[in-house]
Structure 1
């Protein structure tokens, strides 16, 4: 299994969490497009239903590649600021939901939690 799966504690809901493993590691360009910066992020997907775990596992390479692409095209200022990171999270959520809707007919992902976001370089 590629990710960790943890059922939600809420008795009424059937939410589940799927951790993309290993961490997402990608680069971004600094302001002068010469120096690269690196990002390491731990990403957890909150699924609308625990029954979606198998589909998410199947599509996890596509989801991972999409997250890497989104982070990789962000400017340094956005990657290094808290509001910028929240914008990145929201765009990533919307993109992944649209992607899963296209692939499976259901958005499946309720939310994205980025539990670790380490930035290095890009001066």
Structure 2
């Protein structure tokens, strides 16, 4: 009987997951997001006689929530760079899915390049367009 209880004890102990101490942090990354407020609205190069416009919501994904302070500080610089990129796009690129992804990638690269110049490191893990409207 004692052997059976000991065997059961070790079997159950092996199934239980270790409990972390209160001061330990989980090993997973904690991502944070920074959104530009208000949304970015600008014109783009249109093939028609009237001016085309694009309205986007941009979210910057960072690995460390402490980086949000730097993003907030450099918000005007980053916003101006994104507006400039959008303003230089032809209508075909703005309205196509592949063009939209190319624009997103160009914005991502530019934002990280500017942040590296200002802070010494690229802070942004990903740049997301959460709203993308055009006319």
TM-score bin (small chain):
0.7 to 0.9
More strand by share: 1
Which digits, 9 at most, give the CA deviation of each residue in 1:47-101, with x for residues without a partner?
1211101110000011111000000100000000010000000011011101100
Stretches of 4+ aligned residues off by more than 2 angstroms = none
The 2-side partners of 1:110 and 1:15 are apart by: 9
For the pair 1:113 / 2:113, whether they are aligned, the reply is no
| 1:11 Cα offset (Å) | 6.5
In the alignment, structure 2 segments of 5+ residues that lack a partner are: 1-25
TM-score (norm. length: structure 2)? 0.78
TM-score (norm. length: structure 1)? 0.85
Bigger Rg, which one: 2
Say how many residue pairs are matched.
110
Q: Secondary structure at the match of 1:22?
A: coil
More helix by share: 2
